[in-house]
Chains A and B, each alone.
Chain A
Amino acid sequence: MSLVLVILVLLLGGAGAILAEGWHPRFPRRVALATVVLASLVLAVGLWDAEPAVQAGSGDMAVYAFVQVPWIERFGIQLLFGIDGLGLLMVALTLLLGLVAVAAAWDEIEERTGFFAANLLWTLAGVVGVFSALDLFLFFLFWEVMLVPMYFLIAVWGHEARAFAAMKFFLFTQVSGLVMLLAILALVFVHARQTGVITFDYFALLGTTFDADTGRWIALGFLLAFLTKLPSVPVHSWLPDAHTQAPTAGSVILAGILLKTGAYGLLRFVLPLFPDAALDLRMPMMTLGAVSVLYGGVLAFAQTDFKRLVAYSSIAHMGFVLLGVFAWNALALQGAVMTMVAHGLSSAALFMIAGMLQHRLHTRELARMGGLWQRAPRLGAIALFFVVASLGMPGLANFVGEFLVLIGAFGVDVPLTVAAAVGMVVAAIYGLSLMQRAFQGRVADSSAAMADLAPRELVTLAVMLVGLVWLGLEPQRVLDVSAPMVAALMDALPAAPLLLGGAP
């Protein structure tokens, strides 16, 4: 129930924000802040000492905040909500980054503040829905619904090429989503022919058996949608434009959470529903992951736009996630989850910094920046921290995730692991290059009147800093939360041939 309440709070908060603009243009942002805080409280209270409803599917899955209400009985569609460890991590990340986004937009958005806050909150509602829907129709509904307010965020408050970027974002995600709809219906009808029952219930569909070809085609349908969202090379080209042109809050949500929905989909749907097909596709997918790491890294280094550089670095980081997911052993899966959380925090922070710089200097071009550390030392120091976190410095969360992925992948395929590890070196190169071009060297003329970090900005970034340090030094807390899900996935793994003498 608490998940439904969280979504409702976010939806109603959005409506309230639109009304609040009528009173005063400054009210909507406070309504937005209050709404996200309230939603977090509802989640915390709801899940405190909550009893899991254990679902006997193929393997018991402990699900919290379980809701099951018949909806469209004609097709066996229900309002089915519930989260396990992974879902909890993702929903918590969503609400946290929601707060960050509201903080980022606090002074930045001056026009149509009510509509902005509404779209922000509705996107969060859609994303929470994606992470908690356990009925495939409901999942698809939230998957598509989270696109529309995000489209508005980019199209109305974005930067110079916002129309193009918003359209590209929407088209890529929507078309791949339609392919997923075909796959969902194919899955449902295959199941219906086997059991005589039409249902979209995730737990019921877990037991469907396929012949090799059907399974692979349906899995590919799901994969296309999730790889587009992840994003993986070659369907990644919507991301640089969307991230760069979105307003800061939009970029925070896009990079921090929307990309994670793709990874979540892989872990929740592709691996458990189609284990044989996923195993067949393991090598191509891991290759795509390694390619994304390298390609994203190399292209990031080539960028001259601060935000675009960070956007390409997101592609590189999500490549690690793809690599880890399809390596399919306990270490790699945990590494993928850790990377998801860590990247959410670090990229959100980097985009926030990019937004701060753009707000102060009115440019994102690195050529017009330089020596900013002298002007704004606190901003420089914090930026250095997050760049270092992003490139995978041990002691911080990103390293834990990437390291676990590499260990896990090493047992499956050595060349790809080497390639991904080289990607970490590339990450260091572009990360430090970013620092150098923006904050060091000759002081830029445009930065004369540049203000240092305001308290609000400092607090928001400090939260993410603390998060990254804590997760880097004590990752076991997070890994414990996701461990049951990982164990369930390992159970679902069909007997795989031993590769390179390492255990699968």
Chain B
Amino acid sequence: MSAADWFLLSPWLLLGAALLAVILVVGFWRHHGVMAAFTTAALTLAAASALLVLGATPARATIDALPLVRIDGLALLLVALFAAAGALTAAVSRRYLEGRRGDPEEYYILLMCAVFGAMTLAAADHFAIVLLGLEILSISLYTLIAYPEEDSWPLEAGLKYLILSGVASTTLLFGVALLYARTGSLGLDALAVGDGAAPLMVLTGAVMVLAGLSFKLSLAPFHLWTPDVYQGAPAPITGFVATVSKGAVVVVLLRIVAQSDLLASPQLFSILAAMAVLSMLLGNLLAVMQRSVKRVLAFSSVAHMGYLMVAVLAIGSSGGVALGTEAAVVYVVAYTVMTLAAFAVITTLSGAGATRDMDDIDAFTGLLWRQPLAAVVLAVALLSLAGIPLTLGFIGKFYLVAAGVDRGLWPLLWVLLLGSGIGLFYYLRILYALIRPTDPDVAEAARPSLAGGWVLGLLAGLLLLLGVWPMPLIEMVQGVLSYQEALPQLGVLVAPGEDSRDLQDVLGL
């Protein structure tokens, strides 16, 4: 392997080294604060290195010694996103984990492990790597969700996730096996079903792969694990599962769609469309009845994945402006930031060593008057999730609708509209609780720590700033999609083979 190859791998190498270091050190010496700080720093460094590699735009995206991996622009952007999300999660977890029984250091090890798995998924170009990354991510999450182990809720959530995720992975594996048996290929293009006369085994295999991936994406009807796991898991981990774990699978899905030309098959298109519609409707309708804020966010994330599918489905057809992939990537970024913001608020408000997270909607009564910072950040996150302009969430929603209109996916757009309308109701209900007069019977929420306050401010600031000035993000995504032929056979804005631009151009500086 040449120096250029090692350079391409630097995010993984950095994170791996940090992980090994922590595992070794923890055997001799434990210190929560140092561990949390080190984890945050290591993840931030990994994110920075990914952006550095992206900016340096090396000659090739593939490494000869690792033919199953593809480290192109899309992979690097999302690696940076996942590592940053992990860093923010670690930063808010510090105060959250204080005062709990048991050692918190393993939490950080597993968190870094989970990010590593997600990073691997982002660069996967072959089902073997997909499985590797998926399992690293999932197994780390099993324990993280069940953290701390003395309470029954996280344990129940962890068990549910373990069993259901295991079944989903098995389904995925079986699908891959069927595809291999018929096509002899384990690459992501094995799902090439074509437009109709595909052998039944290939179709079945493709459907099983999609089912396995949809579980991770919590698309209806594979969403049933979402509310219980979100509610039971510790709030920072819920934020992590909601964002990184889903984002990583979205990248895999985008690559499969591109390489197998998945959406050319009418059956698979209909299946994905049906799942999108079901997710948008069920996710929004079920959230209306919830009293637990974490459950509301869980069902709303089901709906948001349904919205994302509209962008993915817009990749399929031809003609027009080809917004589908761009919309999907922008939406993943937007969704990650706003979901992290919402769960970061819940984490900081739950405080140190609490037995239950601040979850019931009544606990948020009058938060705007008691703790303006946390309430404003939560309000911005909720408005962003609802898709109100001036927030990044609106830019994401705008992209989705633009992609859908461009391709003429009118039924999906009407469902998106209906779902958004229903969604407003439960987002506003939480917002209304924030602005109600304070109730003396409601327990005091914890104050955010310094790190927590910074994380909240950063996330809310990003939501508002990018909502008002989205061009930097848009240019970055456009640059990424044209770099190194990120996803072949898509209508990209720059023809493949053109000289890639450096980071300065990409950021429009």
Identify the A interface with B (CB < 8 A).
71-75, 112, 137, 140-141, 144-145, 147-148, 151-152, 155-156, 163, 166-167, 170-171, 174-175, 178-179, 181-182, 185-186, 189, 192-193, 198
Contacts and interface: CB of A to CB of B under 8 A. Distances in A.
Given A74-B478, A179-B417, A182-B417, A198 B321 contact: yes
Contacts of A137: 398
B389 A72 contact: no
B421 A175 contact: yes
B390 A141 contact: yes
A122 to B, nearest CB: 11
Contacts of A152: 435
A71, A156, A182, A198, most chain B CB atoms within 10 A: A182
B389 A174 contact: no
Contacts of B413: 182
Nearest to B368: A115
Contacts of B406: 185, 189
Given A145-B388, A185-B401, 14 more contacts: A112-B369, A137-B398, A141-B394, A145-B389, A155-B432, A156-B435, A163-B432, A167-B425, A167-B428, A170-B424, A175-B424, A182-B413, A182-B417, A193-B320
Nearest to A73: B471
A155 B436 CA distance: 8
Interface of B: 320-321, 369, 383, 388-390, 394, 398, 401-402, 405-406, 413, 417, 420-421, 424-425, 428-429, 432, 435, 470-471, 474-475, 478
B425 A171 contact: yes
14 contacts: A71-B471, A72-B470, A74-B471, A74-B474, A141-B389, A141-B390, A152-B435, A167-B429, A170-B428, A171-B425, A181-B401, A182-B405, A182-B417, A198-B321
B424 A140 contact: no
B432 to A, nearest CB: 6
A175 B424 CA distance: 9
A148 B383 contact: yes
Nearest to B467: A141
Closest 6 CB pairs of A and B: A175-B421, A185-B405, A141-B389, A144-B389, A74-B474, A178-B417
Contact of B405 (A71, A140, A166, A189): A189
Contacts of B470: 72
A171 B390 contact: no
Contacts of B390: 141, 145
B405 A186 contact: yes
Nearest to B493: A74
Nearest to A190: B405
A71 B474 CA distance: 12
A189 B406 CA distance: 6
A152, A155, A181, A185, most chain B CB atoms within 10 A: A181
A151 B471 CA distance: 29
Contacts of A71: 471
A181 B398 contact: yes
B389 A171 contact: no
Contacts of B388: 144-145, 147-148, 174
B424 A171 contact: yes
Contacts of A73: 471
Contacts of A186: 405
A158 to B, nearest CB: 11
A112 B428 CA distance: 20
Given A170-B428, A181-B401, A155 B389 contact: no
Contacts of A140: 389
Contact of A171 (B369, B405, B421): B421
A490 B311 CA distance: 41
Contacts of B471: 71-74
A166 B432 CA distance: 9
Chain A binding site: helix, strand, loop or mixed by DSSP? helix
B252 to A, nearest CB: 26
Contacts of B320: 189, 193
Contacts of A75: 402
B321 A192 contact: yes
B428 A182 contact: no
A361 to B, nearest CB: 24
A382 B398 CA distance: 48
Contacts of A170: 424, 428
A497 B202 CA distance: 61
Nearest to A162: B432
Contacts of B389: 140-141, 144-145
A74 B369 CA distance: 40
A155 B435 contact: yes
Contacts of B321: 189, 192, 198
B383, B389, B421, B432, most chain A CB atoms within 10 A: B389
Contacts of B429: 167
A445 B428 CA distance: 41
Given A72-B474, A144-B389, A155-B435, A185 B402 contact: yes
A189 B402 CA distance: 9
Contact of A182 (B383, B394, B401, B432): B401
Contacts of A112: 369
A178 B402 CA distance: 12
B382 to A, nearest CB: 11
B468 to A, nearest CB: 9
A145 B417 CA distance: 18
A193 B383 CA distance: 33
A73 B383 CA distance: 25
Contacts of B432: 155, 163, 166-167
A166 B406 CA distance: 34
Contacts of B435: 152, 155-156
A178 B386 CA distance: 11
A200 to B, nearest CB: 11
B273 to A, nearest CB: 18
A148 to B, nearest CB: 6
Nearest to A151: B428
A137 B394 CA distance: 11
A175 B383 contact: no
A466 to B, nearest CB: 38
Contacts of A147: 388
A72 B468 CA distance: 10
A13 B417 CA distance: 35
A178 B405 contact: no
Nearest to A186: B405
B383 to A, nearest CB: 7
A257 B62 CA distance: 60
Nearest to B413: A182
A224 B413 CA distance: 16
B215 to A, nearest CB: 30
B320, B321, B405, B429, most chain A CB atoms within 10 A: B405
A15 B118 CA distance: 41
B417 A175 contact: yes
Contacts of B421: 171, 174-175, 178
Nearest to B418: A175
B440 to A, nearest CB: 16
B412 to A, nearest CB: 11
A263 B402 CA distance: 26
Nearest to A176: B421
Nearest to B421: A175
A430 B420 CA distance: 39
A186 B474 CA distance: 21
A167 B421 CA distance: 11
A163 B413 CA distance: 29
A71, A74, A140, A151, most chain B CB atoms within 10 A: A74
A109 to B, nearest CB: 14
A137 B474 CA distance: 16
A174 B401 contact: no
A166 B390 CA distance: 20
B206 to A, nearest CB: 31
A98 B320 CA distance: 45
Nearest to B474: A74
A260 to B, nearest CB: 21
A175 B425 CA distance: 11
A185 B320 CA distance: 13
